[in-house]
């Protein structure tokens, strides 16, 4: 699955917590999310649309410094809200692809350890063939 197909697939199933999502779908979507977030953050900082939430440096002192401090940007916040449901759903479908329940999503709330566990699950190849969550999205293609 390519970059555009992955984005289209995730937004097409933005609230679907059933089925499976191959690694390529998840990681291409993740790359899209990060790239758009970076662009929106730069726009927020450049236009001064940031709110200082406790950093040591005032948000308007330097665009470069405020980019790396704890600031919340208007466009970045809207982007994050828009992505909550599609991101969770693609992550749950990715867990299904590794034959794990979507309830494993909650493990990432455990500080440090949870992030590592969920990262490993997202990196693991999906189960070959059909599993209890649906058919193999890659079919007979070899797993990498």
**56 within domain boundaries:** yes
pLDDT at 62 (0 to 100) = 54
Structure-block tokens of residue 132: 């209890």
Count structural domains, the chain.
Answer: 1
pLDDT at 88 (0 to 100) = 96
**108 within domain boundaries:** yes
Q: Give the global pTM.
A: 0.79
**128 within domain boundaries:** no
> Residue 51 — very low, low, confident or very high, per pLDDT cuts 50/70/90?
confident
- Rounded to 5°, angle at Cα 124 from 17 and 137: 50
> Domain range spanning residue 56?
3-123
pLDDT at 49 (0 to 100) = 86
**141 within domain boundaries:** no
DSSP 55-123: -SS-TTS-HHHHHTSSEEEHHHHHHHHHHHHHHHHHHHHHHHHTT--GGGGGGGGSTTHHHHHHHHHHH
Backbone angles phi, psi at 51, to 5 degrees: -115, 125
**137 within domain boundaries:** no
**132 within domain boundaries:** no
């Amino acid at each position: 699955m390519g970059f555009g197909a992955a984005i289209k697939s995730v937004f097409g199933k933005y609230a679907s917590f059933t089925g499976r999502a191959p690694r390529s779908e998840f990681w291409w979507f993740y790359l899209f999310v990060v790239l758009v977030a970076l662009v929106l953050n730069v726009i927020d900082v450049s236009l001064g649309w940031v709110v200082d939430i406790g950093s040591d440096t005032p948000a308007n002192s330097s665009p470069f410094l405020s980019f790396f401090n704890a600031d919340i940007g208007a466009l970045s916040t809207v982007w994050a809200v828009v992505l909550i449901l599609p991101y969770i759903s693609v992550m749950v479908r990715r867990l299904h692809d590794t034959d794990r329940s979507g309830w494993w999503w909650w493990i990432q709330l455990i500080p440090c350890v949870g992030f590592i566990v969920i990262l490993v699950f997202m990196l693991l190849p999906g189960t070959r063939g059909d599993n209890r969550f649906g058919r193999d999205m890659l079919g007979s293609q070899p797993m990498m």
